[in-house]
Amino acid sequence: MTVTLDTIELLQPSSTHRRQKGGEGTALLPHFIAGPENAFALFVCRQQESISLRGNPLLLVGPTGCGKTTLAMTIATLELEQHNGDASMLYLPAADFARNYTNALSADDLEHFRERTDSIDLLVIDDVHSIAEKPSSQEELAARLESRDRRGMPSILTCRRLPSEFRGIRPLLASRMLPGLTVSLRLPGQEARQTIIEQLCQKNSLKIDPDWIDLLCRGLPDSLSVRRLAAVVNHLRLLDENKKPIDAVAIQAAITVASGGNEPTIGAIAKAVARRFQLKTAELKSSTRRQQVVRARALAMYLGRQLTASSLQQIGEYFGGRDHSTVLHACRKTSELLASNSQLSQTADEVREQLQTA
């Protein structure tokens, strides 16, 4: 079955619209290329109605590298164009919003901070998940979003997942982020990935036989962003510049490099899990049977089995010299718990996401 791809030109608001620099990241390609996985996102981009009418705030949700920020800036540009150039935009990473709020609070200048945030024609807050552990900043952002909505002022937000799926996001902020229009974005699917690689090759003046490109696309992991795909093409470009043939061996090497970048070490997994459970890595390796440590250790073993090629014996060796049957039991028990314990399942998802973006 033939899959139809769609594209939209990536845009940036002009400097005359901006009230603060930021969000100008250099796009690797001039267009966003979407397969069925992101068709709805491009449909939303093309809507002529103001964000304040189609759903305010507009929330873009998706994993790191899926294009949330670039699409947010494209939508912002199209929104500003409806004002015939007489509009202003404020782009802020959520961490900067929190920092500005804290500074205004310390300087007893909240009134000015709030008026500036509320009155700007278009507000873009990027990576809201980054303030998951800052409750006062979350409450302030929720209040500003509510105030802007009452005024009919559009806002665009981005977040890795739905705010209700982050334990650190307060219900108040989640309730202000979700009533508008939520658009889910995904990493490029198989068809989009192939077109992206072909265009990256053209951009780098790299000529590769279509059969090799097809082999490359079929062998690459699904969880690769456009930036990671560009790194694969760059690997092949360097081979070509060094007069090395682009053949099956070179393609397999590129696949191995890309796949290897996705595999964390057991140590990295243990460290990430320990941090989520507010433990030390040494405790996961110890002989303690405290329930919190046992559960964290079992989750780390399970993720080690899922995310690496390490054997049960190798995983057991890392966690204090435990034998393979202990690791196998921990993995089976954790697999059962993940199906019934939503909090543990969410923790596992958060660790996976952290390791994939490290």
**Structural domain count, the chain:** 3
197 and 161 co-located in one domain: no
Query: pLDDT tens across 10-33, in order?
Result: 999 877 555 555 555 567 899 999
238, two tokens: 């360097």
Residue-level pLDDT at 182: 96
Residues 353, 347: Cα–Cα separation, whole Å: 10
| pLDDT bucket at 81, cuts 50 / 70 / 90 | confident
CATH of the domain at 312: 1.10.1750.10
Q: Give a yes or no: residue 1 inside a domain.
A: no
164, two tokens: 């209700």
Q: What is the mean pLDDT of residues 334-342?
A: 87
Domain extent for 180:
6-184
147 and 207 co-located in one domain: no
220 and 144 co-located in one domain: no
| pLDDT bucket at 154, cuts 50 / 70 / 90 | very high
Residue-level pLDDT at 254: 86
CATH of the domain at 30: 3.40.50.300
300 has a pLDDT exceeding 80: yes
Tell me if 72 sits within 8 A of 60, measured CB to CB: yes
Domain boundary among 184, 206, 238: 184
Q: Which residues contact 50 (CB under 8 A, 6 or more apart)?
A: 79, 82, 154
7 backbone dihedrals φ, ψ, rounded to 5°: -135, 155
Residue-level pLDDT at 264: 82
Query: pLDDT tens across 95-129, in order?
Result: 999 999 999 999 999 999 999 999 999 999 999 99
R_g over Cα of the chain? 23
Instruction: Quickly count: other Cβ atoms within 10 Å of residue 117's Cβ.
Output: 25
Residues in the chain: 358
Residue-level pLDDT at 1: 56
Q: What is the mean pLDDT of residues 221-246?
A: 87
340, two tokens: 């019934």
From the centroid of its chain, how far is CA 167? 17
Query: Model pTM?
Result: 0.76
174 and 287 co-located in one domain: no
43 and 175 co-located in one domain: yes
Q: Give a yes or no: residue 110 inside a domain.
A: yes
Query: pLDDT tens across 242-273, in order?
Result: 888 999 999 988 888 777 655 788 999 999 99
Q: What is the signed CA dihedral for 230, 232, 238, 244, rounded to 10 degrees?
A: -140
87 and 13 co-located in one domain: yes
171 and 274 co-located in one domain: no
160 backbone dihedrals φ, ψ, rounded to 5°: -65, -40
| pLDDT bucket at 149, cuts 50 / 70 / 90 | very high
* Mean pLDDT score of the chain: 89
What are the C-alpha distances in Å from 348 to residues 8, 208, 295, 351? 35, 39, 12, 5
What are the C-alpha distances in Å from 150 to residues 80, 101, 155, 201? 19, 21, 12, 48
356 has a pLDDT exceeding 70: no
